[in-house]
Amino acid sequence: MPFITEEIYTHLPTVEGCIIVSEWPKYNEEDNMAEEEDMMNLLMEGIRSIRNVRAEMNVPPSKKAKLIIIPSEEKIEAIELGKDYFITLASASNVEIAKDKSNVPEDAVGVVIDGVEIFIPLNELVDFEKEIERLSKEKKKLEGEIKRVNGKLANQGFLAKAPESLIEEEKAKKEKFEEMIKSVEERLTNLESKIK
């Protein structure tokens, strides 16, 4: 529907003539908003980090939690302006901007991004016993998978008959499962330390 585009174009205040014969727009450095871009990148990274922590802890998006943010001096304005983004996009019930860690509970999980520390108190979000139970089951399942893969790789008949690509695939699976079990063990240790 080029005729609609043409009609809209002719009503723009800064243009003359028709779009079909106009030049391509030229880059204008004055329209570059580097400061605002940096601010949005900081907010997006913060929200992404919070969502990652919530996903690792198996917290549903419907559960809202308080956030405690400790920004450096140059980042305070960006965090103040972005409070609503944290509330809406990071499922926060409240955003507290603090100067130090005195108000941060012991069970809070922290993430650090470009001059900003963000803490999420877990006591509002996670049932520690249930999460430990879930992670223990996941660990057992991963141990079973590692045992199965080790059995395949120890089987001389499999190694002799299987194509090299399949053997490499099984080795890659083993590495992946070992990384996953390491991550689960770290999370288990972290949660168990929060209960004590």
How far apart CA 196 and CA 193 sit, in angstroms, is 5
The enclosing domain of 135 has a CATH number of 1.10.287
* Distance between first and last Cα of the chain: 67
Closest CA to 68 of 45, 37, 100: 100
Per-residue pLDDT tens over the stretch 75-124? 999 999 999 999 999 999 999 999 888 888 877 888 888 889 999 888 77
Look at the chain and report how many structural domains it folds into.
Answer: 2
More confident residue, 125 or 54: 54
CATH of the domain at 92: 3.30.2320
pLDDT, average across residues 124-143: 84
pLDDT 10s digits, 147-157: 999 999 899 98
Question: What average pLDDT does this structure show over 44-62?
Answer: 88
52 Cβ partners below 8 Å, 6+ apart? 111
Q: Can you give the pTM of this predicted structure? A: 0.65
Q: Which domain holds residue 109?
A: 34-124
3-state secondary structure 93-150: EEEEECCCHHHCCCCEEEEEECCEEEEEEHHHCCCHHHHHHHHHHHHHHHHHHHHHHH
Q: Which one has a higher pLDDT value, 132 or 143? A: 143
Q: What is the mean pLDDT of the chain?
A: 87
